[in-house]
């Protein structure tokens, strides 16, 4: 189990982390979410030894994580770390060798990853000639080439098209199925909800919620969702919640208790298409936890 406990970190007067902790079990995919500047990258850098915490600990299999353990971790840093002029296959092999693989194992692992990530045809191209999405695939291959015991990925999905998202997600799911704990940060909450077993929500350097996605959803306040087509303008004036427009439908999502009044108003406003209580989405839980 990867265990991060009570991390604290200041940069001058700025408190970046104020007691951050979470655990990720083997075979668990953990989504680390939070607003810009909340402390995700700082936490991951500390876990990978790129930064030192002022206090707190990072353990793997109950032992403190040091340089030896980190060599067996796979890491995708926020700043990305590829040599732009180096060719794709050469680069992945190089990082494999850095992590202690023999030349032949590095070559075999590289060929497999190139195939798996649909990069075989680009194997001889310089990284700088690749699109952002393909560079990100190479970055993932670099993080995976030594068959890591733990994966820590800083925004691996940012800027990717849906096909590339699926390709990366598929590879991460395979590693998870092989018993690897996977931690990744993301602002794409729908993706986190879809992929992750557990999430941690960080706000201003503190964990404000964490746990299994299903548990967080069932612990949250249920919301009433009302969809009215062709609704007269202003039909929901004065009602709490959020009102959005989807095509010609007006959608109200509210935690308001007086559902009879809302029902009356919705029926009078237009064609009532949906009226039901739903569990909050991860986005709604996030908004509430970080408000």
Ligand X SMILES: Nc1ncnc2c1ncn2[C@@H]1O[C@H](COP(=O)(O)OP(=O)(O)OP(=O)(O)O)[C@@H](O)[C@H]1O
- Choose which of 36, 62, 104, 260 interacts with ligand X (CB under 6 A): 36
Place of tokens 């190089």: 94
Q: Return the range that interacts with ligand X (CB under 6 A); candidates 22-30, 35-43, 163-171, 231-239.
A: 35-43
- Choose which of 20, 28, 30, 39 interacts with ligand X (CB under 6 A): 39
Helices 132-144, 88-98: axis angle to 10 degrees equals: 30
Rounded to a whole number of angstroms, the minimum distance from the CB of residue 8 to ligand X is: 12
40 belongs to the binding site for ligand X (CB under 6 A): yes
Number of residues counted as binding ligand X (CB under 6 A) = 11
Q: Return the range that interacts with ligand X (CB under 6 A); candidates 37-45, 189-197, 239-247, 282-290.
A: 37-45
- Choose which of 37, 81, 178, 240 interacts with ligand X (CB under 6 A): 37
Q: How far apart are CA 291 and CA 220, in angstroms?
A: 14
Q: How far apart are CA 51 and CA 70, in angstroms?
A: 13
Three-state secondary-structure class, residue 160 = coil
Q: Which residue's CB is nearer to ligand X, number 57 or number 290? A: 290
41 belongs to the binding site for ligand X (CB under 6 A): yes
The H-assigned helical ranges of 145-188 are 162-177
Q: Which residue's CB is nearer to ligand X, number 16 or number 142? A: 16
152 belongs to the binding site for ligand X (CB under 6 A): no
Pairing of the two strands 182-185 and 150-153: parallel
10 belongs to the binding site for ligand X (CB under 6 A): no
Q: Return the range that interacts with ligand X (CB under 6 A); candidates 30-38, 164-172, 250-258, 267-275.
A: 30-38
Pick from 254, 250, 227, 231: nearest CA to 241: 254
Measure the CA dihedral 219/224/225/230, to 10°.
-170
Q: Which residue's CB is nearer to ligand X, number 41 or number 254? A: 41
The H-assigned helical ranges of the chain are 40-47, 67-70, 88-98, 103-116, 132-144, 162-177, 189-195, 213-219, 259-269, 282-290
Q: How far apart are CA 74 and CA 70, in angstroms?
A: 8
Place of tokens 């707190």: 56
186 belongs to the binding site for ligand X (CB under 6 A): no
210 belongs to the binding site for ligand X (CB under 6 A): no
52 belongs to the binding site for ligand X (CB under 6 A): no
- Choose which of 16, 46, 140, 145 interacts with ligand X (CB under 6 A): 16
Measured over all CA atoms, what is the biggest interatomic distance in the chain, rounded to whole angstroms? 73
Q: Return the range that interacts with ligand X (CB under 6 A); candidates 34-42, 207-215, 236-244, 261-269.
A: 34-42
Rounded to a whole number of angstroms, the minimum distance from the CB of residue 97 to ligand X is: 30
Where do contacts with ligand X occur on this chain (CB under 6 A)?
11, 14, 16, 34, 36-42
């Amino acid at each position: 189990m990867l265990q991060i406990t009570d991390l604290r970190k200041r940069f001058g007067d700025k408190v970046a982390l104020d007691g951050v902790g979470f655990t990720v079990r083997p075979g668990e995919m953990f989504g680390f979410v939070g607003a810009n500047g909340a402390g995700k990258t700082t936490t991951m850098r500390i876990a990978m030894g790129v930064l030192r915490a002022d206090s707190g600990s990072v353990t793997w299999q109950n032992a403190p994580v040091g340089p030896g353990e980190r060599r067996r971790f796979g890491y995708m840093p926020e700043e990305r770390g590829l040599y732009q002029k180096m060719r794709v296959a050469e680069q992945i092999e190089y990082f494999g060798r850095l992590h202690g693989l023999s030349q032949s194992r590095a070559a075999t692992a590289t060929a497999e990853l190139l195939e798996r990530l649909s990069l075989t045809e680009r194997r001889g191209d310089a990284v700088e000639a690749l699109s952002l999405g393909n560079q990100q695939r190479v970055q993932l291959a670099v993080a995976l080439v030594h068959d890591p015991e733990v994966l820590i990925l800083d925004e691996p999905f940012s800027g990717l098209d849906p096909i590339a998202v699926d390709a990366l997600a598929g590879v991460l799911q395979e590693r998870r199925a092989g018993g690897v704990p996977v931690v990744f940060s993301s602002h794409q909450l729908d993706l986190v909800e879809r992929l992750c077993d557990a999430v941690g929500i960080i706000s201003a350097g503190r964990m404000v919620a964490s746990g299994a996605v299903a548990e967080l959803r069932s612990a949250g306040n249920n919301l009433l969702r009302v969809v009215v087509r062709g609704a007269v303008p202003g039909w929901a004036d004065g009602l709490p919640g959020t009102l959005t427009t989807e095509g010609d439908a007006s959608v109200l999502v509210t935690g308001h208790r007086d559902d009879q009044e809302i029902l009356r108003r919705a029926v009078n406003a237009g064609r009532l298409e949906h009226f039901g209580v739903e569990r909050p989405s991860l986005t709604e839980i996030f908004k509430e936890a970080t408000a």
